[in-house]
Structure 1
Amino acid sequence: MDSAWDELTLAFSRTSMFPFFDIAHYLVSLMAMRHQPGAETVAWKNPLSSWFTAMLHCFGGGILSCILLAEPPLRFLANHTNILLASSIWYIIFFCPCDLVFQGCSFLPVQLLAAGMKEVTRTWKIVGGVTHANNYYKNGWIVMIAVGWARGAGGSIVTKFEQLVKGSWKPETEEWLKLSYPAKVTLLGSVIFTFQHIKYLSISKHNLMFFYTIFLVTTKITMMLTATSATPFAPLEDILGRMLFGWQHRFLSCEKKSEIKSSFNGTDSSTSKPTADTSEKVKKQHTKKTE
């Protein structure tokens, strides 16, 4: 039974991402680009700018990881097959007659299938980034985590830089500043695979890839079906936030309560004194009259 399981997970870890999983990744990335306000207008008025933005959406993680490792950022252009494949998908999504491809890809079952396959590619990118960084910095686990994170979810950084150049960047939409779910889950995967690579986790890589991918696909499809933005990390983040940072909030709240209480007591004493003084004055006037 164990050998059969190992053979299954090992065969899964050796699955090639080209072409079907790469097509799903390009499809989901370019559909997200198409849903951006004004993207269709830009594609019709300036196709070259739209194509360049599309390539950043498709290959942004690889570009950012190359920048972090001081490699040529345009190395992705050497893979002519993937460039032609991504360019073809960009063309049919934006310029297909009657928007047939866009309408078909907006169908929920197609979205679920493509999103699940894209999450599979996320695992392969994280593993590839960690392994590639280890070739430069042997057991440099911080660098390995950073490059794996960039390879798996760095496309948003590169595309935001492109928006900054065009003058359409909005800081409040930057997902790495507020850590959206893809950034969080990619960071978690990068940490896990880095620790496994430097032998801090006693689990084989193919088993870890299988379990992590199942988690990614299941969580993504569940979030899409339920149409919710709640992430599975929310309860853990709340607990850790209370443990690590909640004590300061409680300390400040206690200080505020004590200040309010002391100020309230001070006003009571100040208001009670005039009443006592007035009562004494009334008593003296009354005794004078009786005399």
Structure 2
Amino acid sequence: MDPQTFMEIANVVTKLKMYPYFDVANYILMSIMVREDNHPQTAGSQLFSRKHPLACWIATMLLCFAGSILGNLLVGEPLILPFKNHQDLLTATAVWYLVNYSPFDLVYKLSKFLPFKLTIACLKEIQRAHKIQHGVQYAMKLYPGSYVIIGIIGVLKGAGYYYMRAFERLVRGLWFPATNEILQPAFVTKGSLAATIIFILEKKGYIDAPHAVIYFGVVIFFIYFRLSSLLLGIHDPFVPFENLFCAIFMGGVVDAMRRALSREKVEENAQNARNAAKSKDEKKND
């Protein structure tokens, strides 16, 4: 691609407004996440949204605005501040209603249709990059030089709904302590951390490139791996690097050597026992 054309596209992507299309894509995905988490396991039983619409709505709103809620929690702002914007709240509510209660379940089925599913996913990834960038900018103004805090806020802005799921499930009467995001980080968390680090390095001047190019690169990164997950089943490209890192720095090599030595010792003891038994039989025969 011509560099000038690439720069023009990057500038356009940087200036995109998130409302309404990108925000609606986020609301659709969060509504589907709550709905599918409640999907009945037994054929013929009713959906959770039919039995408990209020709990379903609250749970969906918590996911839709999770990044802002958790970010406000960390910086000491009111947690209900994201609900101050009636336009966003009404839009999220309308999307929640259509996903759960549209005639013939049409909206949900269209959202799961592959071309629409891919489009919604791409819009969500663009919004994710936007949220991380603004989260990093805001955190650097409040806590300049506090890179751990900046990193946490950037991650929560990009993957906050994963950390909100434990509380959101409690609203719906579910409790799965072994599946929280801290125990089992998803690719979204790792990717958000990587994007946060890139934006921090850009702000500190360690990356000598136009902001539009860096931002567009982060967007492409998220879209590429989301499409790879949906189309190719590549859910976490960081796993090989994590395994290598753990093997070198987290005791993996030492544990492997210990197991190998233990196995050799067991085999040696077993061989000695067989030899002793064989010698005993030979003496009896003599």
CA distance change for structure 1 residues 232 and 12 in 2, over 3 Å: closer, same or farther?
A: same
Once the two structures are TM-superposed, the CA of residue 94 in structure 1 deviates from its matched residue by 1.4
Q: 1:235 aligns with which of 240, 247, 268?
A: 240
How do 1:49-60 residues align onto structure 2 when only pairs under 5 Å count? 49-60=55-66
Contact 1:141 1:195 in 2 (8 A): no
Q: Give unpaired runs (5+ residues) of structure 2.
A: 41-45
Partner SS, residue 73 of structure 1: coil
Q: Distance in 2 between matches of 1:97 and 1:272?
A: 80
Q: 1:130 aligns with which of 125, 133, 136?
A: 136
Once the two structures are TM-superposed, the CA of residue 277 in structure 1 deviates from its matched residue by 5.9
Is 1:18 paired with 2:19?
yes
Contact 1:126 1:186 in 2 (8 A): yes
Once the two structures are TM-superposed, the CA of residue 159 in structure 1 deviates from its matched residue by 2.6
Partner SS, residue 37 of structure 2: coil
Once the two structures are TM-superposed, the CA of residue 269 in structure 1 deviates from its matched residue by 5.9
Structure 1 length-normalised TM: 0.86
* AA at the equivalent of 1:12: V
Aligned length: 279
Q: Give unpaired runs (5+ residues) of structure 1.
A: 283-291
Q: Distance in 2 between matches of 1:276 and 1:43?
A: 78
Q: Distance in 2 between matches of 1:55 and 1:96?
A: 18
CA distance change for structure 1 residues 97 and 268 in 2, over 3 Å: closer, same or farther?
A: closer
Q: How far does the alpha carbon of each residue in 1:42-66 deviate from its partner, in whole angstroms, 9 at most, with x for none? A: 3223322221111112111111111
Q: How far does the alpha carbon of each residue in 1:134-191 deviate from its partner, in whole angstroms, 9 at most, with x for none? A: 1211021111111000111011222311323554121233344211222222222222
Higher-Rg member (1/2): 1
Once the two structures are TM-superposed, the CA of residue 90 in structure 1 deviates from its matched residue by 0.8
Q: Percent identity?
A: 27
1:225 corresponds to: 231
Q: 2:72 aligns with which of 66, 75, 93?
A: 66
Q: Distance in 2 between matches of 1:24 and 1:127?
A: 19
How do 1:21-170 residues align onto structure 2 when only pairs under 5 Å count? 21-38=22-39, 41-164=47-170, 166-170=172-176
Q: How far does the alpha carbon of each residue in 1:46-100 deviate from its partner, in whole angstroms, 9 at most, with x for none? A: 3222211111121111111111222111110111111111111111111222222
Contact 2:35 2:49 in 1 (8 A): no
Partner SS, residue 17 of structure 1: coil
Q: How far does the alpha carbon of each residue in 1:212-268 deviate from its partner, in whole angstroms, 9 at most, with x for none? A: 111211221232123x25432233333333333431222212321342244235425
1:250 corresponds to: 256
Please report the RMSD computed on the Cα atoms of aligned residues, expressed in angstroms: 2.4
CA distance change for structure 1 residues 34 and 165 in 2, over 3 Å: closer, same or farther?
A: closer
Partner SS, residue 18 of structure 2: coil
Higher alpha-carbon deviation: 216-225 or 158-167: 158-167
Higher alpha-carbon deviation: 243-252 or 126-135: 243-252
Q: Distance in 2 between matches of 1:4 and 1:98?
A: 44
